[in-house]
Structure 1
Amino acid sequence: MTLPLLVGYPLARSARSSARRIFPMRGHRRIEDPQVMRVQRARAWTAAVMSLLILIVYGKPEDMAEAQAQYWLRLIVTPWLLLLSAPVVVAVLFRWASPDAKRAMRPLLRSAGRSALWYFGAFTLVPLLALAAGWTAQLLERSAGSPYYLVPCLMYATFIPMTWAALFVAFASGPAVRSAFNTSQVHAALPALLTGVLVWEFMVIGLVVGGLPPGPPLIQIATLVGGPASVTAVAWWEIHRLRTRYGAGLRT
């Protein structure tokens, strides 16, 4: 265990430090409104309890498995949905903003773009290094004149950057998703806008992948639309409070 610990601990510490520097743990809100956060938590717990009750009353064993599969699907799909959705929402907000607001947003947009490149660069590096190491090892094994130590040296040389990149993605994923790759720093209303867009995208994905939720037709429609509609209502209420209480309107 000594060698893995000596190699693994510095790698994990370096990856965690880089992830926290690029994606701070509390960087997902420019303005934190305690009342909005309480309402968001209450809505989330209510939605979770209602979903569980519907599964218990109307669900079948395969519905439980489908709910777990959709949960893991959301974890996997969320970063890629953000990569596609965030630039569109930011572009609309940027076009709508006043000239003074645009000047203030430009350097923050460049910083958010660099953060996204860091994340997806590390994410892509892991399979690329694994494939490159595998192909090179096969070529060396087939080559009769290559020294016997080249394959383990090659595997060790690719294992270190591949492990660092995987640890960086693991440490950065939570803060990166919460801050939408630091685009939340561009404008105070962006987290609410992105949340309102993502819930409807997840509704479509869930409908395509898993179909309608269990229960009578009225319960199915209420379950399908009620969650995204309630999240959107809370998001617009948050935007209203940002404008009226903190002076952070969509154009400012």
Structure 2
Amino acid sequence: MEDPQVRKLQLWRTALGLVAWVGLMVTYNAVVSAGDAAAVADERFDQSWSSVLVLVCTFPVVVGAFVAAARPGLRRLYLRRALRPLGAVVAVMASMGTSALAFAPETAGFRDIIGLPGKIALGVLCLWAVVFALYGIGLSLVHVFRTADIHEVLPPVLAGVLVWEMALLDVVTGAYPQVPAGARVVFILGAPTTVTALSWWEVHRLRRHHGLTVRDALGR
């Protein structure tokens, strides 16, 4: 089920989060040169990739708990539906691993064997894999790995869990050390608070406009 209002808010949430992050970096002088800009871009990509990795780890836990809590007849249905989101997880992970494996020192012998034509073909494949991975990372964070294919109530639940995990990770790793403590607290807590509010609104909208609730999804 596609709800244009929900999808629009998810895209706005992602875009505004990126704008806020860039503004924070610029305001506190994290970007003062082209080199700094490249470093900030790399940091943002690393954070996005970390979010995907956390989501990959969180995905089976939340989905597994959801399936286990459902009635027996629904469990088989949800497990079958989980194949598509699982395929999305595998596709993103495989695309990220392609370039790393292709140009790893351990595969140097293979690159020598295939010669220049093979290296060109390998480079094109890796370029495609990187573009696919970047696109997949964006979609996975916006659409939460297509977990709506299992049930429409899962994406807001999983998104809420994910953002609080990422906030905890930022606290543990000491993210944004150049930002004053007060602004850092506001920024770190702002994302999970906003996403939690959006998730609550999405669940409310699903119940009000489509008659979908977590209790009904579990068959309880």
TM-score (norm 1): 0.64
Task: Output the amino acid matched with 1:238.
Answer: E
Task: Output the amino acid matched with 1:156.
Answer: P
**Taking every aligned residue pair, what percent have the same amino acid on both sides?**
20
Q: Give the secondary structure class of the aligned counterpart of 2:144.
A: coil
Task: Report whether the alignment pairs 1:76 with 2:49.
Answer: yes
Alignment of 1:81-230 (within 5 A): 81-131=54-104, 132-136=106-110, 151=112, 153-157=114-118, 159-161=120-122, 163-171=124-132, 172-173=135-136, 174-207=138-171, 208-211=173-176, 214-215=179-180, 217=182, 219-230=183-194
Offset of 1:232 from its aligned partner?
0.5
Task: Output the amino acid matched with 1:105.
Answer: Y
Provide the C-alpha distance between the structure 1 equivalents of 2:83 and 2:23, rounded to a whole number of angstroms.
45
Indicate if the aligned counterparts of 1:125 and 1:162 stay in contact, CA closer than 8 A: no
Provide the C-alpha distance between the structure 2 equivalents of 1:179 and 1:44, rounded to a whole number of angstroms.
11
Residues 160-218 of structure 1: per-residue CA shift (max 9 Å, x gap):
2563254145235233443333333111122212221222222233332425673474x
Provide the C-alpha distance between the structure 2 equivalents of 1:54 and 1:129, rounded to a whole number of angstroms.
36
Partner of 1:62: 30
Distance 1:67 1:230, change over 3 A: farther
Task: Output the amino acid matched with 1:170.
Answer: V
Alignment of 1:39-50 (within 5 A): 39-40=9-10
Offset of 1:60 from its aligned partner?
3.1
Which protein, 1 or 2, shows the higher relative CO under an 8 Å CA cutoff with sep ≥ 6? 1
The CA RMSD measured in Å over matched residues stands at 3.4
Larger radius of gyration: 1
Residues 22-54 of structure 1: per-residue CA shift (max 9 Å, x gap):
xxxxxxxx33152x4555566667666766776
Partner of 1:7: none
Task: Output the amino acid matched with 1:79.
Answer: V
Provide the C-alpha distance between the structure 2 equivalents of 1:115 and 1:48, rounded to a whole number of angstroms.
23
Provide the C-alpha distance between the structure 1 equivalents of 2:13 and 2:88, rounded to a whole number of angstroms.
30
Q: Give the secondary structure class of the aligned counterpart of 1:61.
A: coil
Distance 1:240 1:199, change over 3 A: same
Provide the C-alpha distance between the structure 2 equivalents of 1:80 and 1:216, rounded to a whole number of angstroms.
27
Distance 1:181 1:44, change over 3 A: closer
Task: Output the amino acid matched with 1:190.
Answer: L
Task: Output the amino acid matched with 1:62.
Answer: A
Structure 1: which 5+ runs fail to align? Answer: 1-29, 138-150
Provide the C-alpha distance between the structure 1 equivalents of 2:15 and 2:95, rounded to a whole number of angstroms.
34
Indicate if the aligned counterparts of 1:199 and 1:231 stay in contact, CA closer than 8 A: yes
TM-score (norm 2): 0.72
Partner of 2:195: 231
Provide the C-alpha distance between the structure 1 equivalents of 2:59 and 2:69, rounded to a whole number of angstroms.
15
Offset of 1:84 from its aligned partner?
0.8
Distance 1:121 1:46, change over 3 A: closer
In the alignment of these two chains, the number of paired residues is 206
Residues 48-82 of structure 1: per-residue CA shift (max 9 Å, x gap):
676677667xx431378686564232223232222
Provide the C-alpha distance between the structure 2 equivalents of 1:67 and 1:234, rounded to a whole number of angstroms.
27
Q: Give the secondary structure class of the aligned counterpart of 2:30.
A: helix
Distance 1:51 1:113, change over 3 A: closer
